[in-house]
Amino acid sequence: MAKLDETELMLKDLTDAKGIPGNEKEARDVMERYIAPFADEVTTDNLGSLIAKKTGDESGPSIMVAGHLDEVGFMVTRIDDKGFVYFQTVGGWWSQVMLAQRVTIMTSKGDVTGVIGSKPPHILSAEARKKPVDIKDMFIDIGASSKDEAAEFGVRPGDSVVPYFEFTKMNNEKMLLAKAWDNRIGCAIAIEVLKQLKDTDHPNVVYGVGAVQEEVGLRGAKTAAHTIKPDIGFAVDVGIAGDTPGVSDHEADSKLGEGPQIILYDASMVSHKGLRDLVVDTAEENNIPYQYSAIAGGGTDAGSIHLTANGVPSLAITIATRYIHSHAAILHRDDFENAVKLIVATIKKMDKETVKQVTLS
């Protein structure tokens, strides 16, 4: 793999970290290490979401920029007498991307390597080959010969199971391949936003957030937003890329490298018109490329943020990403960098009067 620069090393550390919903500590520790130098203080709420505060004008509006720490994964539910491990999905999975994939079980004795078992085609009937395997019938092989041996390895019900994949810079070095882009890229955006605001004036208080448990119901963003009480909320996440074979423009028309996505609508919220217009105007004023997107079957942390207290004008800004909710996904570095530029440029405008006008739009 080509040598990684400073930003890519951060992205590697974030994506290589393990953290499914309910067990995000490893990913949170990595995010804290990178964001703390640019924050005035770093705290966590009682569910475990990380909140990094950067004060510009302490009497100005509060701006929340939230990525989520968790990635889709699995949880051990039982171990059979032969030592095979059965599991529950944690977050949304499609069965066809799971078989024969390597996983890591996080146990009290350390990490245990496993693979989701699959039957060889030689013993499958022609009819069986046409049918996807039900997730409920899948198991993980950890090389144990019995339930007792699996217990000796440290595996027990409730343990987190995380997809295994290493960060890779592809031959086109702008194309980055990794697990957990959903949503360590949002965490990286929050880090970079605070970094770029470090020695600049901004008329507000900015909170860079790594929320927990997004993949199981936008939960951490809800408690973090109750803690922060923001005036404006941004969710930064991945979006759907439509630039691969078999995906029609009707399903998804965003392309890698053509700018961050401004989400118009998703299943968790209708984007706030005033905030959306401000962001789009800012992009055009600064010649920052952007794309529009709508996601009928999914949501972001903005869905929780915008319902906090008496309402928070909120918007999701996402990075078009291929193959999300699988072991490995691809995104374009330019989209990440342009998302940061766009959010920073918008934040610098957001004084009390601008926020008031946005709210009334």
Q: Does the pLDDT at position 1 exceed 80?
A: no
Name the nearest CA neighbour of 102 among 88, 83, 119, 116. 116
Residue percentage of the chain with pLDDT more than 70: 100
pLDDT in tens, 64-102: 999 999 999 999 999 999 999 999 999 999 999 999 999
The model's pTM: 0.96
pLDDT band at 26 (very low <50, low <70, confident <90, very high): very high
Identify the CA nearest to 162 among candidates 208, 111, 211: 111
What domains, with CATH codes, occur in the chain? Answer: 6-71+179-360 (3.40.630.10), 73-163 (2.40.30.40)
CA distance 247 to 14: 29
Mean pLDDT, all residues of the chain: 96
CA pair distance 51, 208, nearest whole angstrom: 6
Decide if 111 contacts 148 (C-beta within 8 A).
no
Q: Which residue has tokens 């074979």?
A: 245
Which pLDDT belongs to residue 298? 85
Q: What is the DSSP string of 290-341?
A: -EEEEETT---THHHHTTSTT---EEEEEEEEBS-SSS-EEEEHHHHHHHHH
Find the angle CA(193)-CA(38)-CA(349) to the nearest 5 degrees: 40
How far is Cα 250 from Cα 261, in angstroms, rounded to an integer?
16
Contact between 91 and 215 under an 8 Å Cβ cutoff? The reply is yes
- 106-123 pLDDT, tens digit per residue, is 999 999 999 999 888 888
- Please identify every residue annotated as catalytic: 214
